[in-house]
Amino acid sequence: MNIFYLTVTTTEVIEKTTDFFSVENLKKILNAFLAGVQLYAWKLILAIIIWFIGKKLIHVGIKIMNKALGRTGLDTGVVKFLCSLTRFAAYIIILIQIIKILGFETSTFVALLGTAGLAFGLALQGSLSNFAGGVLILIFKPFRVGDYIVSGVNEGTVKAIDLLYTKLITLDNKTITIPNGMLANSSVVNVCSEDTRRIDIQIPIGYTSDIKKAKTLLYDILMDQPQIFKDQEISVIVKSLEDSRVLLETRAWVNTGNWWETKCELLERFIEVFNDNGIDIPFRKVDVNIEK
C-alpha cells in the first residue's frame, strides 16, 4: 500500500513538473510577465512624463507668481517665502500623484509625511515662532530697514530684517540681534514712522525763580530755532510742582531727521540762557536733621 502511494505521488510530481516546464505553460508565464512589465513600464513612463511636465509648470507658475506679488509692494523676503512655500506644496502634490500612478498606497506616505512634519515642528518650535514673527513683520511692516525703533531695553536703527532675526545698529555702532518672535509679541516704538516729530523737553526751575520770565525765555529760544516749525504748536507749560522745583516743559515740532540734533541744541541753549538771566536750575536735595 505504501509502495503504491509513493509511486502515485512521484508520478503526479513528475507530471506537474513536466506540465510546468512545458512550452505552452512557459509561454503563458512569459506572456503574463511581459504584460506585467509592459503595464508597469507604461506606468513608469507616465510617472516620468508627469514629473517633468509638473516641474516645468511649477517653474513657470512660480515665475508668474513672483512677478505678480512683486507688483503688490510686498517685501522681497515675504515674496520669496510665499514662492518657496508654494513650490514645496506643488512638488508634494506631484509626488503623491506619481506614487498613486505606480500603484503604491498614498495614505501611508501622507501619514509618514504628517508625522515627520509634526516631529520637525516640535523640534524647531522656537525657530518656527521666530519664523512666524518674521513673516508678520515683513507683511504688516511695523518698521522698515533704516527706521529707528525702541523695543524694551533695545533700541537702534534697523539694519536688516531676516525671517528669523532682526538686526539693529546702536548709536555707538554695536549690533543687536533680536528674535522676530520677541518683536512680534511685544510693543515696538517706531521713531521714524512719521515725517514730523514733537520735541518735549522738561527743565526744572526753583520756586524762587520768576516763572513767567523763564517761560518767556524758553519760548523765545524755540522761536529762534530754525529747525522748529513755526506754523505748528509751540508751547511752554508748567508740567508739575514737585518737592524742591517747578517742572517746565517745552513742546515744538521738527522734521524727524532733525529731532535728535535739535533737542541737543535746545538743551544747551536753555542752560546758557537760564544762567545768563539768573534762573535757578535746582538739583534734588535731602535735608538730614541730627538730634543730639
Q: What is the pLDDT of residue 4?
A: 46
Q: What is the pLDDT of residue 133?
A: 83
Domain finish residue from 89, 123, 157: 123
Indicate whether 112 and 76 sit together in one domain.
Answer: yes
Alpha-carbon gap, residue 214 to 248, rounded angstroms: 9
Per-residue pLDDT 10s for the chain (292 aa) are: 455 444 546 666 566 666 655 666 556 665 665 565 566 677 778 888 888 888 899 899 988 888 887 787 766 766 776 787 788 888 888 888 887 877 766 666 666 666 666 665 555 555 677 878 887 887 788 888 888 999 988 999 999 888 788 999 998 999 999 998 888 888 899 988 888 999 999 999 999 899 999 999 999 999 999 999 999 999 999 999 988 899 999 999 999 889 989 999 999 999 999 999 999 888 766 556 677 6
Q: Cell digits for 290?
A: 541730627
Does 8 fall in a domain?
A: no
Domain finish residue from 76, 93, 123: 123
221 within 8 A of 273, measured Cβ to Cβ: yes
237 within 8 A of 188, measured Cβ to Cβ: no
| Domains identified in the chain, total number | 3
Nearest CA to 228 out of 276, 265, 275 is that of 265
User: Which domain covers residue 47, as residue numbers?
Assistant: 19-123
Nearest CA to 225 out of 248, 193, 204, 255 is that of 255
Q: What is the pLDDT of residue 119?
A: 60
Residue partners of 208: CB distance under 8 A and separation at least 6:
280
Alpha-carbon gap, residue 236 to 217, rounded angstroms: 10
Residue partners of 117: CB distance under 8 A and separation at least 6:
none
Q: At what angle do helices 76-101 and 106-123 cross, to 10 degrees?
A: 150
134 within 8 A of 126, measured Cβ to Cβ: no
Q: What is the pLDDT of residue 225?
A: 93
Nearest CA to 166 out of 152, 177, 157, 175 is that of 177
Domain finish residue from 79, 96, 123: 123
Q: Cell digits for 6?
A: 509513493
Alpha-helical segments (H) within the chain: 2-20, 23-71, 76-101, 106-123, 125-140, 180-184, 211-224, 259-276
Nearest CA to 274 out of 200, 222, 207, 210 is that of 210
Indicate whether 182 and 202 sit together in one domain.
Answer: no
Indicate whether 184 and 200 sit together in one domain.
Answer: no
Does 154 fall in a domain?
A: yes
Does 1 fall in a domain?
A: no
143: DSSP letter: S
Does 289 fall in a domain?
A: no
Indicate whether 110 and 154 sit together in one domain.
Answer: no
Taking only the tens place, the pLDDT of each residue in 224-277 is 999 999 999 999 999 999 888 999 999 999 998 899 899 999 999 999 999 999
Taking only the tens place, the pLDDT of each residue in 87-111 is 888 888 888 888 787 776 666 666 6
Q: What is the pLDDT of residue 85?
A: 77
CATH number for position 164? 2.30.30.60
CATH number for position 90? 1.10.287.1260
Does 155 fall in a domain?
A: yes
Does 292 fall in a domain?
A: no
